[in-house]
């Protein structure tokens, strides 16, 4: 297997990557409007409820402290 030095790879590919990223259609832009505290809290509550539901239904397995598996 060919060994690659990360610093050399990044130096050689940074400009082509940036050109390719800028040339393609960006599609949906990230949200630029800041969220209100109420909206942030609501989204967190919805996310936690979804996580609990997936655990209860067995769609999400916790394999370790930072490892998860989604079963669809």
pLDDT single digits (tens) 16-51 = 888 887 777 666 666 678 889 999 999 999 999 999
Query: Which residue from 71, 53, 46, 52 is spatially nearest to 61, judged by alpha carbons?
Result: 71
Ranges of each domain in the chain = 36-72
pTM for the complete prediction? 0.52
DSSP the chain: -----HHHHHHHHHHHHHHHHHHS---SPPP-SPPPHHHHHHHHHHHHHHHHHHHHHTSEEEEETTEEEE--
């Amino acid at each position: 297997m060919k060994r690659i030095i990360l610093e050399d790879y990044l130096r050689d590919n940074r400009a082509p990557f940036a050109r390719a990223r800028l040339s393609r259609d960006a599609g949906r832009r990230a949200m630029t409007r800041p969220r209100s505290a109420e909206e942030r809290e609501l989204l967190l509550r919805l996310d936690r409820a979804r996580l609990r539901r997936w655990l209860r239904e067995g769609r999400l397995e916790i394999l370790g402290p930072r490892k998860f598996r989604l079963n669809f």
